[in-house]
Structures are given as C-alpha cells and as structure tokens.
Amino acid sequence: MKTEGAVALVTGGARGLGLEIARHLSGEGATVVVADRNAEALTALSPLLEGCVMDVTDPSQVKSQVAKIIDKHKRIDILVNNAGVITSEPLVNLTNPDGIMHDYGRFRDSLTVNLDSVFIVTSAVVEHMVKLRIRGAIVNISSISACGNEGQTAYSAAKAGVNAMTVTWSKELGRWGIRSNAVAPGFIGTDSTHSAVTETAIKHIRDNTPLRRLGDASEVAAAVRSLIENDFLNGVVLDVNGGLRI
Ligand SMILES: NC(=O)c1ccc[n+]([C@@H]2O[C@H](COP(=O)([O-])OP(=O)(O)OC[C@H]3O[C@@H](n4cnc5c(N)ncnc54)[C@H](O)[C@@H]3O)[C@@H](O)[C@H]2O)c1
C-alpha cells in the first residue's frame, strides 16, 4: 500500500511515539487523523495533522468518532494502534506498606488501556474497512515487554495479548486484503521512558543493548511505514530494539 494519498488514524498521537508516527506518515503524503484523550495537547498539533478527541477505552465514543472520520474522509486505510500507558509493578513488593501483592485494580487498568483499547479501536475501524472493501493496514504498537519484563506483570501481559491479536487478525482479515502487523519497540528515548525508568536502569539497558544506545522515535516510525508499504507482510511482530533481549 502506498502511504501517499492514504487516510491514516493514529491513536495516542498527541505526543511521544504516536506524534512521531503521525508526522512521518503525514510527511509521506497521508492524510493523518490523530486520536488522543488529551484534548489540550491536540490543540497544539501542526495544522497538517487533524486532531480527534477520543478515549480509546470507551467503545461507544470510539465508534461515534470513527463514524465521523469516515463521514468526512470516506475511508480509513491505515490504523496505527499506538495509544497506551507504560505501567510497572512487580507481583510481590515487600516494601509496599499498603500490601505486598500487585494491586488487582491497577492490573485491570493496565490491561484496559494497553490491550482492550486495541480491540475496541480495531473493531470500530475494521467494520468500515470490510463494508467499504478497503484493503487496509493495521499496525499495533507492542513492546519488548511482551516477552515478559521483570517488574511489569500487567504491561507485559497486555503487550503479549496485542501480539496474539495481531497474528490472529492477520489470519482472519487476510481474506479481505486487510493486513495486521505490529512493531515491538525496545527502549526508545522518549519522555515516557525517562519517567517510567530510573536513570540507573536506563544505563543498564544501554550497556546491555548490542548497539549501546536507546532507540529513536523516528526509527519506530520508519518501521511502521515499512509494515504499511510492504503488501506481503502480514502477521509480523517487528522488533525495533537494537538487538536487546530481555
Ligand atoms: N517509549 C518507549 O520506549 C516505548 C517502548 C515500547 C513500547 N511503547 C509503546 O508505544 C506506545 C506509545 O508510547 P509513548 O512512549 O509514546 O507514550 P506517551 O505517554 O508519550 O504517549 C502516549 C499517548 O497516548 C495517549 N493515551 C493514553 N491513554 C489514552 C486513552 N485511553 N485514549 C486515548 N489516548 C490515550 C496519551 O494522551 C499520549 O498522548 C505505547 O503503546 C507504549 O506502550 C513505548
């Protein structure tokens, strides 16, 4: 599929990796709608990007906002499920005065925003793709944590679920010409990484990455584009991690 001339929906695109992906696709000539729950950040977007207030965990709001995008642009060719929140909590924490075990509410919250959201938005968009006979491309933003990252029970489970849905949809949707792939970034030098991970841990990650550095958001965006543009890639989870294994 050509990015140029396509209509793309990028969730969580008001900042971080999503913003970089949105800019990259727009730079390649796509019409890009950026969906985010952060309405204020959307107002600061470049006029080349179209903002859409959307909480990806709210099925009825997602359905109605997707319908509005289809009304306006007549199609969505590319869906990038990027919205998510990096959460960290070990199963057992002996120093937590409120209880040593992982809080179940926080476990559910992480799954809702990182896993359910991908199902919710994809369901709303694919319904239109199938009805309008659009041979679309879905790219899910997973994570290296899908392998099982120490200290991230819920987030790792959510991203492993994203990988499983990616492969399942590649099989189910291929008959309509809709491809489903994922990018699994390692540690990228974003604000979210610096607030979720201590500087000591970042040094450890750098030292253990064969390329001895964090990734750049532009490298994730380029990987997303390659999955969109290569029409025989389907069911791929593409690691973008400098060779790091966890
Ligand atoms: N930064 C990294 O190193 C890294 C590594 C691996 C995977 N990822 C994944 O990449 C994606 C983007 O991460 P980031 O680092 O850019 O995060 P970020 O926090 O910088 O940006 C996330 C964006 O998603 C939006 N968002 C969050 N919850 C939402 C909701 N319910 N509805 C709508 N929008 C919502 C936020 O408002 C924000 O604009 C996430 O899925 C994350 O798990 C990031």
- What integer is the mean pLDDT of 43-65? 98
Cβ atoms within 10 Å, residue 85: 15
Looking at residue 176, its pLDDT comes to 98
Question: What band does 196 get if pLDDT is binned at 50, 70 and 90?
Answer: confident
Atom of ligand 1 nearest to the CA of 142: 7
- Burial level of 77, CB count in 10 A (0-12/13-18/19+)? buried
Query: Cβ(190) to ligand 1 under 6 A?
Result: yes
Contact criterion met (CB below 8 Å) for 159 and 116:
no
Q: In terms of CATH, what superfamily is 7-190+217-239?
A: NAD(P)-binding Rossmann-like Domain (3.40.50.720)
Is the pLDDT at 228 greater than 90? The verdict is yes
Query: Cβ(158) to ligand 1 under 6 A?
Result: no
Cβ atoms within 10 Å, residue 192: 14
Residue 163: alpha-carbon gap to chain centroid: 11
Looking at residue 31, its pLDDT comes to 98
Question: What band does 130 get if pLDDT is binned at 50, 70 and 90?
Answer: very high
- What integer is the mean pLDDT of 33-60? 98
Could you report the per-residue pLDDT of 175-185, keeping only the tens digit for each? 999 999 999 99
So where are the chain's domains? Answer: 7-190+217-239
End-to-end CA distance of the chain: 33
Is the pLDDT at 27 greater than 90? The verdict is yes
Atom of ligand 1 nearest to the CA of 57: 31
Could you report the per-residue pLDDT of 149-173, keeping only the tens digit for each? 999 999 999 999 999 999 999 999 9
Question: What band does 197 get if pLDDT is binned at 50, 70 and 90?
Answer: confident
Is residue 237 classed as helix, strand or coil in its secondary structure?
Answer: strand
Q: Which string of b and e fits 97-128 if b means at least 16 CB within 10 Å?
A: eeeeebeeeebeebbbbbbbbbbbbbebbbeb
